Structure 1
Amino acid sequence: MNGSDSHEPAHPIIGLTTYLDRAQTGVWDVRAGLLPAPYLNGITAAGGIAVLLPPQPVSPEIAARVLDGVAGLVLTGGRDLDPAGYGQDPHAETDRPDPVRDAWEFALLDEALRRGLPVLGICRGAQVLNVAFGGTLHQHLPDVLGSNGHRAGNGVFTEMPVRTVAGTRLAELIGEACEVQCYHHQAIAELGAKLVVSARDDDGVIEAIELPGENFVLAVQWHPEESLDDPRLFSAIVDAAERYAVQRVSR
């Protein structure tokens, strides 16, 4: 059977949300849709095809059309969510809101969940998932912990151990414990409805959450793209996307 007749997807297409921010290249200094290359490298090294989904005006119909073209969704890191979305006033250390990106990612996530599309959240992406299910955030962890150990600053990631929760999807993927790369000053406070905690660090901070069930919906507060010598999370989303693509073709 040749490739055009096969129902096996060659490489699943994974959509990754992006920043919409100032960027400099050559003589140009403009706003641009962009994403650090390690995210793309994580997907492609795992056998997926990475496509960028930059923030733009959105509706449920647009979100549905976008996701028709992918078999998995990665909600990436970036600017803090607007605290109004979880019923809080902004902290002095909270980033200025980006309403276009917030609306874009919540719409994509809502449609992805509706259709059972595999979802991986990274850092901000974990917070998007939690808030989408009615959860809240600690807007500035140093106020809670008395230290800034989770975000050293100046682009330096902090390596720290996390321990997974037995029986979760994450525990099946990475085992009981793992050293991870962190760069976040916010974290999950009240857990969203239906979600479960799948990892915490030594400070008790929630470092991973997931949605129980058959569909792959998992989010980590750390940055797996910064340690691609351990590809398990990117392999997991690509594998889940491949299964989803096969099921979609067979429907």
Structure 2
Amino acid sequence: MLPLIGISTYREEASWGVWSQRADLLHVEYADAVVRAGGVPVLLPPASADLDAARVVVRALDALVIAGGADVDPGRYREEPHSRTANWRPDRDVWELALLSAAAESGLPTLGICRGMQLMAVAGGGALDQHTPDVVGHEQHSPGGADFGSIEVTTEPDSLVARVLGEAVQAHCHHHQSVRDHPGFVATAWADDGTVEAMESDPAAEGGDRFCLAVQWHPEMTRDQRLFDALVTAAQTRRMTQSRV
């Protein structure tokens, strides 16, 4: 059986055909990347805040992707909003936090993309720099509007992200916020300006051998399959291991 890969979604005002109303939606690049990797994408709209509902969902999945999107509510890490922090989505925050909690309980392979990485850090008790240009002095991580930045990212030798991507990657990024603190995770890739661009589960922690990786950039937008291929491989391995139990 092909592995089922859950992907969190947006909930936004949208227009299609004769309709203009709130909709659950996601860029097709995520689902396409999962299909190319040999998985079946399952979209997970923010329709619940219930941990038990998330546990039911996670039991049916073989892996989880927390997708990019709006800023995380700064109240989640006990800070007042920066003037550039805006339009956070409480419905996404609570649902994705529930999914992450359920995924951690079950050891589900998990990949965070951009906002996904930020939310994973917050879920672990960490915090964000709410406007990265204030810290690094430039806007190359998110040039503005729909434009993506391109930055050189260096990986930590022998880390999971290095094994998947090598010692460096040209990252296609669109984030004006970044991870400042990340309890339970180890930083494993950085931009030249010191911004943490990837983190993964601490191998010294319980369950540290689980595939749990997050990146601050958007590999799906450049059709870079390697992280999605690795996630689906981890999902297949977990499924085969559980089937033997």
Matched, 1:222 2:217: yes
Quote how far apart the aligned CAs of 1:154 are.
Answer: 2.2
Q: CA separation in 1, counterparts of 2:231 and 2:43?
A: 16
Matched, 1:236 2:227: no
Q: Decide which of 163, 166, 191 is 2:157's aligned counterpart.
A: 166
Report the TM-score, using the length of structure 2 for normalisation: 0.95
Matched, 1:209 2:203: no
Quote how far apart the aligned CAs of 1:247 are.
Answer: 2.1
Verify the 8 A CA contact 2:140 2:151 in the aligned structure 1.
no
Quote how far apart the aligned CAs of 1:96 are.
Answer: 2.4
- Per the alignment, residue 37 of structure 2 pairs with 46
- Per the alignment, residue 108 of structure 1 pairs with 99
Q: CA separation in 2, counterparts of 1:107 and 1:182?
A: 26
- Per the alignment, residue 6 of structure 1 pairs with none
CA-to-aligned-CA distance 1:14-43 (integer Å, 9 cap, x gap) = 000000011111221111110000011110
- Per the alignment, residue 198 of structure 1 pairs with 188
Q: Decide which of 126, 134, 151 is 1:143's aligned counterpart.
A: 134
CA-to-aligned-CA distance 1:132-151 (integer Å, 9 cap, x gap) = 11111000111112221111
Give the AA of the match of 1:239.
T
Quote how far apart the aligned CAs of 1:159 are.
Answer: 1.4
Residue aligned with 2:11, SS: strand
Q: CA separation in 1, counterparts of 2:139 and 2:153?
A: 17
For structure 1, the 5+ residue unaligned runs are 1-9
| Percent of pairs with identical residues | 44
Task: State how 1:1-251 maps to structure 2 within 5 Å.
Answer: 10-190=1-181, 192-211=182-201, 212=203, 213-228=208-223, 230-251=224-245
Q: CA separation in 1, counterparts of 2:113 and 2:87?
A: 20
Runs of 4+ in 1 over 3 A off after TM superposition: none
For structure 2, the 5+ residue unaligned runs are none
CA-to-aligned-CA distance 1:204-249 (integer Å, 9 cap, x gap) = 1000000022110000000010111x31100011001111111222
CA RMSD, 1 decimal = 1.0
Give the AA of the match of 2:218.
H
Report the TM-score, using the length of structure 1 for normalisation: 0.93
Residue aligned with 1:117, SS: coil
Range 50-59 or range 117-126, more displaced: 50-59
Give the AA of the match of 1:26.
G
Matched positions, count: 240
Quote how far apart the aligned CAs of 1:155 are.
Answer: 1.0
Q: CA separation in 2, counterparts of 1:249 and 1:20?
A: 35
Residue aligned with 1:150, SS: coil
Quote how far apart the aligned CAs of 1:153 are.
Answer: 1.7
CA-to-aligned-CA distance 1:52-94 (integer Å, 9 cap, x gap) = 0000122221111111211000000001000011110011111
Residue aligned with 2:141, SS: coil
Residue aligned with 1:57, SS: coil
